[in-house]
Amino acid sequence: MRMAGASFWALVPAFVLLSACVTARMHSEAELNGVGERCGLALGELFQDESEKRLVFLFRPDSTREQRICVASWARKNGLKAVFVNAINYPET
């Protein structure tokens, strides 16, 4: 019995590492809009891109500290990384 307990504790780090590798899922537009509404954002200001599902983007240059904290907290709880777009510089043509 003693050996079985030792084997279990030896595997715990492996379980932790594997849990970090879980693939992020795409959240629906309705889910993201609901989070955005709770965080005081307008429709479409919070989105994910299929090419990088682990990121959630807040596209609002004048977002408040509270809004960014709200989005970052939700992202962390869902295994995502929040990205804040503060400014866009368009090239002159």
Mean pLDDT of 66-92: 91
pLDDT category at 23 given cuts 50, 70, 90 is low
Is the pLDDT assigned to residue 1 strictly greater than 90? no
Position 12 in a domain: no
Position 87 in a domain: yes
Position 91 in a domain: yes
Position 10 in a domain: no
Domain hosting residue 92, numbered range: 25-93
Cα angle, residue 72 at apex, residues 49 and 75 outer, rounded to 5°: 50
Position 18 in a domain: no
What is the per-residue pLDDT for 70?
98
pLDDT digits (tens, 9 = 90+) for 33-73: 999 999 999 999 999 999 999 999 999 989 999 999 999 99
What is the per-residue pLDDT for 55?
96
- Domains of the chain: total: 1
Collapsing DSSP to helix, strand or coil, 16 comes out as: helix
Position 67 in a domain: yes
First-to-last CA distance in the chain?
74
